[in-house]
Amino acid sequence: MTLGDLVVYVNYFVLGYFLLINAVYLVLYAISFAEIADYVRRDVFSGLAELFSSNYAPPATVVVPAYNERASIADSVRSFLTLHYPLHEVVVVNDGSTDDTLEVLIREFDLHESDQPVRRQLETAPIRGVYASPTERLIVVDKENGGKSDALNAGICAAGYPLVCCMDADIILEEDALLRIARPLVEESSVAAVGGIVRVANGSRFEKGRIIEPKTPRKALPNFQIVEYLRAFIAVRTAWSRLNALLIISGAFGMFRRRDVIAAGGYAGDTVGEDMELVTRMHRVLRENDRVYKISFVPDPVAWTEVPDTVRVLRRQRDRWHRGLIDTLFRHRRMLFNPRYGAVGTLGMPYFFLFEFLGPVVELAGYVAFMGGLALGVINLPFAVAFFMAAVGLGVLLSTAAVFLEESGWSAIPGGGTWRSSQSTGSWRTLGTARSTRSGGRWPSSRSCAGAPSGARWSVRALTRAGTTGR
């Protein structure tokens, strides 16, 4: 076999791979379209107002981990306290901040030390004190630094209600966000967790923790990510939810039954993809205990976050997400292709292994082989056109379909924006693969891990095709 023959074979393999992954996406899009159409119909009769005044909605605890958030923590907490919900409390966990985050909370909410016990049902770093507000349902747990996962576990332990909503301190929620994300848990006792959609807030105007005027960003990079988030959340995650194979609930905004999170062991502190790892482990534990359950996704535009607007920060974010994906797949490799775990083992895990994990490597090899084929003169024009259409053209088509799905439902982002393609994140995710053996429990900056959906999940041609791993 000559070098030219090898290059041709590699190009045909990659072309077939691109066609296969886009065919899978088309199937997922079709499922999502049907599910969203049904959701919109049901939403007309959702009775959110009745749920808000109902005594049947279980009380919920909003868990907010905070590390050096002095600038925004007061406004964020006020917005969380005023969310529309029959009965909820807010638990803020100060994870050993080196600034005066705790002092700001004490001053703004007139906190005093409390003897309220924290049930240590999960392992956490030592707790230094608990503070309570005399006028609000607000608890502040002050603890030694242990990382975001450790802070979330401490908040779950301190939670006094059966539902816990875990979110980032800098997330911006719609006023009815808790009602919408809790509704599946209220309607079906078998639902163990629910993920909410996260939207790009860059360019929008907001005041006191509320979106006042949604707008598209002026910079191109955040605009790229708008389409990514549409594809990752609305166009794909909705389908995985319908198949009960959803492996990701964004660390920025998700609700769980407290008992199920504790039974699964809480968030792992030794992974960079703690949100995906927890949801995958919950699937595993619930299946192994023969529980009839569902992990759902709510496709409403309910949460907003700022995404990276520089290439350097975006590169670090995607590298981290991909390493988190690899770590989760390795930890739970016994679930891969295992029918004991239902659709998760036979569909969800294989998808993430074949397309999300291997995708960047196949993509990079494909582009190298394609350029090599052109240089050697072994690729003809028809093949070049087919390769381009499979690698880019179908991705653009799918992105357009994702925008159509969003427009047909809610149209939360006005003005369109700039939808362009880029291949950069494929190489960043390849670097993440090479560094996947590294781990750490340090807090990432809020700008480097915003929204994404925390975890690893983006598709082969990320900015063109926006994979399903967006946190």
pLDDT at 144: 97
Predicted pLDDT of residue 301:
61
Question: How far, in Å, CA of 465 to CA of 458, rounded?
Answer: 8
Q: How confident is the model at residue 223 (pLDDT cuts 50, 70, 90)?
A: confident
Tell me, what's the pLDDT at 461?
A: 32
pLDDT of residue 53: 67
C-alpha–C-alpha distance, residues 242 and 99, integer Å: 44
Whole-number pLDDT of residue 449: 38
Residue boundaries of the structural domains of the chain: 57-338
Which tokens is 308 given?
A: 């990276």
Share of the chain above pLDDT 90, in %: 45
pLDDT digits (tens, 9 = 90+) for 153-174: 999 999 999 999 999 988 889 8
Q: Which of 67-81, 191-205, 256-270 has the lowest mean pLDDT?
A: 191-205
Euclidean distance between CA atoms 265 and 281, whole angstroms: 9
pLDDT digits (tens, 9 = 90+) for 92-122: 999 999 999 999 999 999 999 998 889 999 9
pLDDT at position 206, please? Answer: 76
**Rounded (10°) angle between helices 311-331 and 424-434:** 50
Model pLDDT for residues 126-158, shown as the tens digit of each residue = 999 999 999 999 999 999 999 999 999 999 999
- The mean-pLDDT minimum among 264-273, 331-340, 423-432 falls in 423-432
The pLDDT score that the predictor gives to residue 145 is 96
pLDDT grade, residue 453 (50/70/90)?
Answer: very low
The per-residue pLDDT for 452 is 41
- pLDDT confidence of residue 403: 66
pLDDT digits over 367-402, tens only?
888 888 888 888 887 888 877 777 677 677 767 766
pLDDT average, residue stretch 192-196: 95
User: Could you tell me the pTM of the whole model?
Assistant: 0.83
Query: Residue 78 corresponds to which tokens in the numbers above?
Result: 């006020």
What is the band of 7 on the pLDDT scale with cuts at 50, 70, 90? Answer: confident
> Is pLDDT at 443 greater than 50 in this prediction?
no
Topology (CATH level 3) of domain 57-338: Spore Coat Polysaccharide Biosynthesis Protein SpsA; Chain A (3.90.550)
User: Higher-confidence residue: 456 or 266?
Assistant: 266
Query: How far is it, in rounded angstroms, from Cα 469 to Cα 460?
Result: 11
Rounded to the nearest integer, the mean pLDDT of the chain is 83
Residue 135, pLDDT score = 94
Write the pLDDT tens digit of every residue in 247-281.
Answer: 999 988 999 999 999 999 999 999 989 999 999 99
